[in-house]
Each structure stands twice: as C-alpha cells, then as structure tokens.
Structure 1
Amino acid sequence: MSLEVPASQQVRCAVHPAQPAGGTCSRCGSFICADCATSVPGLGARLYCAACAARSDVNYLEALRQRYWGRRDEWAWVVAGVTLLLCVGAAAAVAQWGLRASKQALFPLVLLLPVPVGVAFFLGQRWARHALLATPLVMAVVADVLHRDGRFLFFLCAVPGLLTALRIHRDVRNQLFFRLPVSAGSLKLLWDLRFNNPMARQALRFGFSSVFMPLLAPIAWVCGVLALMRVDLKATPPIGRRGQAIAGLVLGIVSPLLWGFVLVPVLDRWLSKMVYK
C-alpha cells in the first residue's frame, strides 16, 4: 500500500500552478509555494503571498517609511527656528554696536556661521546633516580667535549644541526626511515609539504624575484599562505595550493609597508640630 499522494491531487500554488504549495498566506489564506512565500519585517515568522505582503496594512513598516519619506520632521523646523533667531540676534547686535574692522566688533558675526548649514538642513541637503555636527565646534573656535578671554565659556557652550546635533544625526525620523536608508529594526523602533498603543504610554505618564498629584489617578486607571483592552500581539500590525499599561494602572491605584495612608498623616503630624510648637 503506497502512502504517496499522486501529483495530480497535490495542493498547488495559487500563483504558480506548476509548483506544489508549501503553506497558506497568513492574510488571505491562498496557497503559496516557496517562491511566493514572503516574510514581513516586524511580524515574526508569518508568511504572506506577494500581493498581501505589499499591502500597507500588512507591511506597516514600509508604509511608515513611505509616510515620512522626504517630509520635514520636527528637527528640521527646530533648526530653521534657531537659524532665524541667530539671524535676528546678529542683526540686533550689529545695529546696536555697529560693524567696525576690529575683532570685538566682528564678534556678533559668529552667530551667522550656522546660517548656511541651517538653511541647507531645512532644504534637505544631506551634507548639512554632517556639517551640523561640526558647526558648534567651528563657532567656538572662531569665537576664541576673536575673543581669547572666553575660551572655556565658548567650548562649554558648544557642548549642548554638539550633543543636540548628535541626537538629530541619529534620529530615524530625521533620516527619513533626508531619504536615507533605514533598517527594518529602526523603523520598528520608530513605529513602537509613535503608533504602538499610545494609550499605554499615556497610562504610564499619568501613573507617574499621580504619585505627585493623586487627582490624576482616575485618568491613569482609565488609560490603563483601555490600553490593556487594545493589546493584541496577533494583530497586523501587532499592538503591544502591555507592561506599560499595567504599570500605569498599578501606579494609579497605589498613589492614592500612598497619599491617604502615608504622606497625608506624616504631613499632618509635621504641620501640627510646627503650629503648636
């Protein structure tokens, strides 16, 4: 007795009828062969047919990439605002003290050094991303040449600018604005930060706030419950942050108890001693 299935009775791929099917699409259920099976980053071991894998509601990371591709982010507007303020500051300084051929008189022009970089950054020129890293140090060096007495202060002021420029340079959203290649893992982190169950983040935020302002505890309860109800790791895309929702809910429950049974009696005894001392 043979247990082999005749070739005529084997399940075939819906797209390639000549190929035997090795499974079904996780979305539409169509039979797919090894050539059709497509995995989507961020969805684990699930396999899809090519048509479903290209859908924005399935390949949500690619949809996220296209959503932000070439579009200005918050940092672009911040850089533009700072550039405008530097121009206004330089103009005000020149109007106040005038412009003369001396090092001290040229000092306000240091504020104009980042302007070309800021304009190019706002316009999406890739070289400006790297130039932004060097701009704070260049400003400090030029300021030191014009005014030797403030060397330590100049380089100390350059440190926050350098740290901010490093943060901008590493920001995934900013890389998408400049149309730079971004890995699926980085896109997943960006999606988790902005779109993965934001109610859970609110629950955690109000939970921490309720430790200092117990009147916010009911908001933490509501947000925590709603966030827990939305958690669905099998959804496409998956909805997580269960831990943050639980943490916010627990903090919202504990904080009123902490204030009612510990902090308020302690404050009452302390005030009583201060008044009747």
Structure 2
Amino acid sequence: MNAVPLAPALAETRCPAHPEHPILGACKRCGTFFCEQDRHTLHGEDYCASCAERPELNYLEAFRLRYWGKRDTWAWLIGFSAIMRLISAPIFLRMPDGAGVLSGLVTLAGAVVCACFWLGKPFSRLGLCFLLVVELLVDAFTLGPNTLIRSAWPLLVSLAIYQDPRNRLFFQEHLPPETLQKLWHQYANNRVARLGFILGLFGLLFPPAAPVGLMCSIIGLRRVNPTANPPVGRKGQAIAGIVCGAAGLVLWTLLYFTLRY
C-alpha cells in the first residue's frame, strides 16, 4: 500500500529532517511527513522512523529480538547430551584391550561439540551434523553395518535442528521475513486458541481436558482479529477446538450415564 497521498502544494515541500529530499507521504499512525530516508514500510503500510520502531507495529522485529540469542529446547537437550557424553567417554576408554578407545575419543569429542552448541558457538551447528556422521561410521566399523539404520536417526534429527528457524535465532542468524512470519505464527499468534485445540483433541481421550479445551477455544475465538496489529488469527483452530471440546463433553457424559444406569 502506498503512502498517504499529498496535496500538490505539499508535494514539493522539503522534509524537515532531510531538506535535500522532498516529502513523499505521511505516517499512517501519527501523520508525520516523511521523505525517502524516513519512510519505513511494514506489512504494506508506510510509517515514519519513530513509529516503525514501536513493537506493536513492527511485531516481527519485536518477536525476533525476544528470541535472539535465547536457548531453545534443542539447545538444552544437546547441552544435556554433552554431560552424558562426558560421563560415558571414560567408560569406553577403560574397556579392556583398548576395544573402546575409538568410541571413547569420538564420544569425548562429541561432548566438546555439544557443549559448544549449548554455548551458541556458530561452528557447532554444522559441527553437530559432522559429529553424527563420524559416529555413524564408527558404529558401523566397530559394531557392524547392521547399526547404520539405528545410527542414522540422530543424524536426521541433527539435520532438522540445523534447519530449525527457532534454533537459528538462538545462534543469532537473520531469518527471511517469510520464515520469521511463520515462526511468529507458530509461537505467538493466538496461543490460547492453539492450546484450546490441543486440549480439545486430548479431551476426546481424557475427560477433564474437554471442558478446559472448550473454554480456551471460546476465549481464543473471541480474540480473533485479522485487522489488528499484530493480527490475531487461528480462527479455524479455535472453531475446531470448540467442536472437539463439546464433542468430548457430550461423549463422556453419555458414556458416564450409560455405564451408571
């Protein structure tokens, strides 16, 4: 969407902050005039520099900063793996006849890589994948090729971690706007509706979850506002949560009275 149109007389007016540039439009929020140097476009709307920094307008940037350099679940799990590897490495190294020396050295190296991953060292993202490739080959050499399929699962998980956008924010990697938008939708967009949908589904198997899921879904549906900034979505999940929660209540109530009477 273009900037707020200007009258012909104002079109030749110079920007107060940058006299060498003409005014291009007015901020959609506060009405301040801006030039090309001041204009910031967010979600199809033009704003001045000060308004563009407000978290309620630039919600994707606020979301990025919230998780920038913050450890995610993967970081904590791999940090715990570093401790387990440190405990396991001496066991391999003390095996008789040096049978576990190779595995012990690889396990010890893995502890270092996992610790660096927990500390947020950039090289450890790719290092984790390389480590698991080495472990896969070592297992095939020491235990036989039958272990390849079993050992391949950790490697596949490491590749998924490498591509995980939330984990990339922990390592302070910049994400494309489209990826950041999807991540915001996953973590921040109407979490009550998402919780209600999950509890509604769970309520079909576990009776106490059904009324909680129904209540959360109703609250989530009332919060839906696509025109807000940031927009509040998940209308479909809220409706599905209401249906599942209500169905769970009806089914478990009928089952209760059927068994009782």
In which range does the TM-score fall when normalised by the shorter chain?
0.7 to 0.9
Whether the 8 Å contact between 1:120 and 1:128 is mirrored in structure 2 is: yes
Whether the 8 Å contact between 2:200 and 2:241 is mirrored in structure 1 is: yes
Q: Could you say which residue in structure 1 is the equivalent of 2:30?
A: 28
What one-letter code is carried by the residue in structure 1 that aligns with 2:9? Answer: A
* CA shift for structure 1 position 106: 2.5
Distance 1:10 1:19 in 2: 6
Whether the 8 Å contact between 2:139 and 2:151 is mirrored in structure 1 is: no
1:183 aligns with 2:176: yes
Distance 1:15 1:239, change over 3 A: farther
Kindly provide the CA deviation profile for residues 205-257 of structure 1, in whole angstroms up to 9, marking residues without a partner as x.
11101111233222122101111121222222111111111110111112233
Q: Could you say which residue in structure 2 is the equivalent of 1:216?
A: 209
Distance 1:6 1:208 in 2: 59
Distance 2:96 2:215 in 1: 64
1:1-277 → structure 2 map (5 Å cutoff): 7=9, 19-20=22-23, 22=25, 24-33=26-35, 36-40=38-42, 43=43, 45-94=44-93, 98-102=94-98, 104-106=99-101, 108-109=103-104, 110-147=106-143, 150-153=144-147, 155-260=148-253
Identity of aligned residues (%): 35
* CA shift for structure 1 position 64: 2.2
Distance 1:124 1:9 in 2: 50
Distance 1:66 1:128 in 2: 22
Distance 1:93 1:20 in 2: 72
Kindly provide the CA deviation profile for residues 188-208 of structure 1, in whole angstroms up to 9, marking residues without a partner as x.
122111111110111101110
What one-letter code is carried by the residue in structure 1 that aligns with 2:158? Answer: A
Whether the 8 Å contact between 2:41 and 2:47 is mirrored in structure 1 is: yes
Q: Alignment partner of 1:55: what SS? A: coil
In terms of mean alpha carbon deviation, does 6-15 or 247-256 score higher? 6-15
Distance 1:87 1:6 in 2: 73
In terms of mean alpha carbon deviation, does 11-20 or 184-193 score higher? 11-20
Q: Could you say which residue in structure 2 is the equivalent of 1:273?
A: none
In terms of mean alpha carbon deviation, does 133-142 or 107-116 score higher? 107-116
Structure 2 gap segments, 5+ residues each? 1-6
Distance 2:180 2:231 in 1: 14
Whether the 8 Å contact between 2:10 and 2:23 is mirrored in structure 1 is: no
What one-letter code is carried by the residue in structure 1 that aligns with 2:27? Answer: C
Q: How many residues align?
A: 253
In terms of mean alpha carbon deviation, does 198-207 or 82-91 score higher? 82-91
Distance 2:10 2:180 in 1: 44
Distance 2:92 2:38 in 1: 66
What one-letter code is carried by the residue in structure 1 that aligns with 2:120? Answer: G
Distance 2:126 2:226 in 1: 39
What one-letter code is carried by the residue in structure 1 that aligns with 2:50? Answer: A
Structure 1 or 2, whichever has the larger Rg, is 1
* CA shift for structure 1 position 12: 7.8
Structure 1 gap segments, 5+ residues each? 269-277
**Structure 2-normalised TM-score?**
0.83
In terms of mean alpha carbon deviation, does 252-261 or 195-204 score higher? 252-261
Q: CA RMSD in A?
A: 3.0
Distance 1:57 1:8 in 2: 29
